[in-house]
Structure 1
């Protein structure tokens, strides 16, 4: 039985829901190098259209358990203006996965690792939140440990889609962001 949240998510997914089992790994010192390779590739493909390229998500936080997936945010003028950048990304092997107002998510790979590429306007609220969470987890071992414990409690089960796993992390993320001075959504 499909939930209302699953139906909502399905509306923005290009390929539909994809069942997903969360498997976490210990932090890998190779993740920053993999990100650096992705960032260089994106700067080459997008040039000045990429106002910012940042490593986000758990692989961007030394010492934090994570799914072995590199998450990157790119700041663009207007992510809804797909003709301005999407053909170049798809020609470079990126696959569009999410299309929602103000956000596109593409999937690629580097160094045998999956990569999620989030495209937002450079000054978007979501970009600010991603960076604030990353920086807070880097600077506060207690926050990092709490977040890791929560992630571990969610691992090993099958989710109807990765976005539902992200939703389940939401309350803890909101608490961490609140302590960082970031207003709730």
Structure 2
């Protein structure tokens, strides 16, 4: 599979805002903090045309309370990633073929991943706010917004990788992992300062 990297689209913030409203309606009783993250949140940055959203709740005990309300709004719950990331609940808004309903659950061991024949339009990462994982997402976003030279290098890497074949988006993410982790460390140090 080829990963599509699109030029920055000025409509991405509007797409985020529409999803933010739906998530607020679904999870309002949990008083979430909702942030646009990932490459689509950085003006000018080329990206996969997938809106990434970070949702913060007050405690670990509230993570599972997000599942049913998010399912009711049409988001697919990916339990399959919890063994490696127990601190996060992951949901996606999938672009299903006409007439085919989205699954409500992709369970542990299920071979389904986003980015293959059924792409994700929106990825939602729910975790406890103000934890290290929460902060690293925001630090990376803010660092790339403030350092256009680093954002340009990231875009060049992603565009280069888009010429390769990958089994799924997880393989693509692994191919850019060293760059991302390096920038993330710089971003966290910069963000604390």
Question: Is the 8 Å Cα contact of residues 57 and 134 (structure 1) preserved in structure 2?
Answer: yes
Question: Is the 8 Å Cα contact of residues 57 and 71 (structure 1) preserved in structure 2?
Answer: yes
* TM-score where L is the length of structure 1: 0.79
Question: Is the 8 Å Cα contact of residues 63 and 126 (structure 2) preserved in structure 1?
Answer: no
Given the alignment of the two structures, is residue 129 of structure 1 paired with residue 136 of structure 2, yes or no?
yes
| SS state at 1:63 partner | coil
Question: Is the 8 Å Cα contact of residues 57 and 63 (structure 2) preserved in structure 1?
Answer: no
Question: Is the 8 Å Cα contact of residues 64 and 89 (structure 2) preserved in structure 1?
Answer: no
Question: Is the 8 Å Cα contact of residues 80 and 103 (structure 1) preserved in structure 2?
Answer: no
Counterpart position of 1:152? 159
Aligned CA-pair RMSD? 2.1
Counterpart position of 2:30? 49
- 1:1-185 alignment, distance < 5 Å: 20-78=1-59, 83-97=64-78, 98-99=81-82, 100-108=85-93, 114-182=121-189
**CA 1:55 to 1:44, structure 2 compared with 1: closer, same or farther past 3 Å?**
same
| SS state at 1:71 partner | strand
Question: Is the 8 Å Cα contact of residues 80 and 101 (structure 1) preserved in structure 2?
Answer: no
Runs of 4+ residues deviating >3 angstroms: 77-83
Q: CA deviation at 1:150?
A: 1.0
Q: CA deviation at 1:82?
A: 5.2
* TM-score where L is the length of structure 2: 0.76
CA distance in 2, matches of 1:46, 1:181: 28
The count of residues paired between Structure 1 and Structure 2 equals 162
CA distance in 1, matches of 2:88, 2:18: 23
User: Which blocks of at least 5 consecutive residues in structure 1 are unaligned?
Assistant: 1-19
User: Which blocks of at least 5 consecutive residues in structure 2 are unaligned?
Assistant: 96-119
